[in-house]
Structure 1
């Protein structure tokens, strides 16, 4: 499985997890310039930008550890563009959802992961 296929599979699992928690999915793979936000959702009157990290196991570290400052900066840039484009005037949040692809029930949802 290549990197894109792993990412797509992880995002598929993530969408199911988020929907089970009551999220409304607004966008998937939102792009702005060279930045991408995996999932944008709405939950409890919050606009939430979700970075999905998926691996086949957590043996060599957790997927969320791969969200570095450069990635965060790109997510923030794309989020700012999206907020402006839809004229969002309410609260926002940035989450990270890490998923074990061999056992999607083994996932870790970090709410308010960064600002």
Structure 2
């Protein structure tokens, strides 16, 4: 598990962290034995996500890259067709395609909703 791609820093953070994290991510992605789980929030436009292009640059045939959509509960009304197009591997195709995960919210846990029900 690697840190997420950093684009900016907050107060008190060193800007060198951006380069350090990007170098760390690059060193792992370039290893041929690395399986790349390209984690993308489902409520974000797939065309704006850096990780898919970074994965493609080191895995041009897509043999080790799987797209993982998260935050299914944050998909806005009217965006469902767009998300389904990604899951059908139509919007930004990758060889291994995409899967979606949905975790329980704190409210679900507090209300006794099981993982299966969520």
TM-score of the alignment, normalized to the shorter chain, above 0.5 = no
**Hey, which of these two has a bigger chunk of strand by percent?**
1
Greater RCO, CA 8 A, separation 6+ = 1
TM-score of the pair, normalised by structure 1: 0.32
Between Structure 1 and Structure 2, whose CA radius of gyration is higher? Answer: 2
TM-score of the pair, normalised by structure 2: 0.31
